[in-house]
Amino acid sequence: MATRPIRMFGDPVLRTRAQEVTEFDAALEHLIDDMLETMDEAGGVGLAANQVGVTKRVFVYDCSHIEEGLRGHIVNPVWEAIGEETQIDQEGCLSIPGVQKDTERFQTVKVSGQDKDGNPVSMVASGLMARCIQHETDHLDGILFLKRLSPELRKEAMAELRNAEWNQEPRG
C-alpha cells in the first residue's frame, strides 16, 4: 500500500471522463488499496480515481463515522435518485482545498456497481453518503462540485480559487 499524490483543480485529468473497468485484476486491487490509504491520509470521506490521475471508473468512500460499515469501494458505479427530495449542505473536495459551499444533491440514492472482483454490489444511501456517491460519480464523469453550485456561490468559489495559494499557476 502507498499513498498517491492528489491532483488539484486545473489538472486536465479532473475534467476527463473515466473509462469503464473491464479487467478485475491485481492492478485494480492495488489501485483501490492506494486510494483508501490516500483518502485516509487526506481525511476525506471519498476519493475518485481521477483524483490520483487514473481514468478508471472506481471510487472509495468512508462514512463509517456516521454509520458502521460505510467504508469501501465501488467499481463502475451508476446511481439513481430515490424520490425527489434534495438536501443542501456544505460540500468540499480534496482537489479544491479550502473551498466549501452549500451544494444541492438528492437526499437518497441507490448506487449499483461492482466490487474489485467484479461481483455486483448495490446500496441505498442517504445524507452524507448519498452526497458522496453523487460527488464521486461526478468526478468519474469529469465534473467538479463547482458545477453544481448556484450561480452566486459558484462566483464566490471561483474568486476564492483564484486567490488560493496552491493555485498560483501562470495566468495569461
- Identify whether the C-beta of residue 39 lies closer than 8 Å to the C-beta of residue 46: yes
| DSSP code per residue over 74-85 | EEEEEEEESSS-
Q: Which is nearer to ligand GNR, 48 or 146 (CB)?
A: 48
Q: Which is nearer to ligand GNR, 45 or 54 (CB)?
A: 45
Q: Which is nearer to ligand GNR, 10 or 25 (CB)?
A: 10
Smallest separation, CB 42 to ligand GNR (Å): 7
- What lies within 8 Å, CB to CB, of 79 at 6+ separation is 109, 110, 111, 112, 133, 134, 137
Smallest separation, CB 91 to Ni ion (Å): 9
Smallest separation, CB 48 to ligand GNR (Å): 5
Can 136 be counted among the known catalytic residues? yes
Q: What is the DSSP letter of 43?
A: T
- Identify whether the C-beta of residue 86 lies closer than 8 Å to the C-beta of residue 49: no
Binding site for ligand GNR (CB under 6 A): 44-48, 51, 91-95, 131-132, 135-136, 139
